[in-house]
Structure 1
Amino acid sequence: MIKSVFEYDDYRSFMSDYYQWKKRTSAFSWREFAKVSGFSSPNYLKVVCDGKSGLSNPGTKRVAKAMGLVGAEYDYFQQLVRFGQAKKDAEKDDAYAEMINIVSSHQVRVLKGESISFYESWKYPVLRELAPMMPGAKPSDLSKACRGAFSAEEVRNALAFLTRARFLRKTASDVYEQEDRSLQASVAAMPTQVRAMHKEMANFAKDAIEKYPVSERNFSGATIGIDEEDYAKIVEELDACRKRIISIATAKKGGNRVYRVNLQLFPLTEKILKGESGSANKGCKKR
């Protein structure tokens, strides 16, 4: 993974980092980058990243789409290009103001340092969503809404942490609102706390199959035979889908239930070496 586009103030640096990340994880090249972005010249985007050329407005949109940017990220990248290519100070200032406005309106926050402990327990992300939905609710009420998964005392302590770490803002007695609409984990923190969160949520997904009717949950899957290049493309699709889902969820305030979305792709077999024969079973089932 690379840093969020919201952490950049130079579109060429973001594009270069995206290229390097893709190259590390797949057989990616400048030719491929240009092709998926709709450019006929195989080295055009390298020339752009080297500062020897720029992007037109249509070109900016195609590159943003090729990199899987959607919603606020897509809009931010367009302004980032405009900021980087502005000829006049007034235009540059206007583009920068739009960048600030996009980040502020979508309230995206990248978690680093101590705040990454947010991922140590599922109660933190759940209560971050649930507490603003229930203004005036006591910790015991929030505990009941979570079906007693943790005590009122645990809720009270969790709310104190969420407030102290600026995940929630207390506006009145037992009334909370979110400091940021969207959160993103720092890449450096991914290997530890976030892995533990994924394990915890995977267990909840297993229980949800029996606990909730099909009208309240959606499970589907496919068993597929692919190679490394296919894997990289599918990961990119999943990442773009996740961003679109977040964009939908953060587009408006309010809600009446907290949901979890798991996007999972993992191997079921060992890698087949060249010369070995075998076949892949492909199928899709929804239940």
Structure 2
Amino acid sequence: MRLAVTGRDGQVVASLLEAGRRLEGVEVVAVGRPQLDLAQPGTVFDALAVWKPDIIVSAAAYTAVDQAEAERDLAFAVNAAGAGAVAEAAARLGVPIIHLSTDYVFDGTKDGAYVETDATRPLGIYGASKLAGEQAVAAANPRHLILRTSWVYSPFGKNFLKTMLERAAGSGEIAVVADQWGNPTSAFDVATAIFSAAARLGRDRDFDAYGIYHLAGTGETNWSGFARHILEMSLAHGGPHAQVRDIATGDYPTKAPRPANSRLSTAKFSRVFAWQAPDWRLSTLETVSRLLGKDADGSFATWRRHSDR
């Protein structure tokens, strides 16, 4: 089975490429700029068609949440029109699409975990553009899985986990928001879930449960609790550590508002695909321990190298 994934440098793309190398009978190819540019929909079909994929994974996106407030047109061009072009290409090629979306399609006011049928109400441009992308994907290709995820981290790129390690190396105390709740999600777990779903689609030609799914780490916490666990695991592995001080969202103003509640129920995905992510603490430990692997000179510097990617 060949999966063509859009993008080259994202956390999920990197995780799919790495994990795919360990799976027999699976090939993952990353297709990105300049051949495929979501801001230029005319590039999409030819860039994907040349690979003759069995499934297309739509992972590339405009993800600068705050910057999107000033770049609305670009965010919608990439996340809405671009995503729709990828889904249309998949339909023309006669293959399903697995599209990644976000918890930011919700306003965060629900008391409890969001399910797939809950009403959407994005608070900012990024969330609105991703919701428009979901709609474009569904309209262009009936054989779609839209996977909403949240609080993604990995050894790759920029993310909250790596930021906490970097800040702890230079400070004895870090202020972290304590009134936003969600499910920390390892990009490797997202990749594993995608492979599980792709395998099901590959063997079940009569699959009839296409649609929207929530996919996130098991268990919930707030940002400060996530930070404490990261730094406790870092300390246990000889890495940087700092005290975490709880603050309110209002104490850390951002251009784009964040949902106070990003918790996602993954019961539907578990039921249909018989797969559930590990507890977020276990997956966090795996990433922290990997980033803090010792160099040849015995120093814990691996995470610094990865932070530059």
What TM-score, normalized to structure 1? 0.28
User: Higher helix share goes to which structure?
Assistant: 1
What TM-score, normalized to structure 2? 0.27
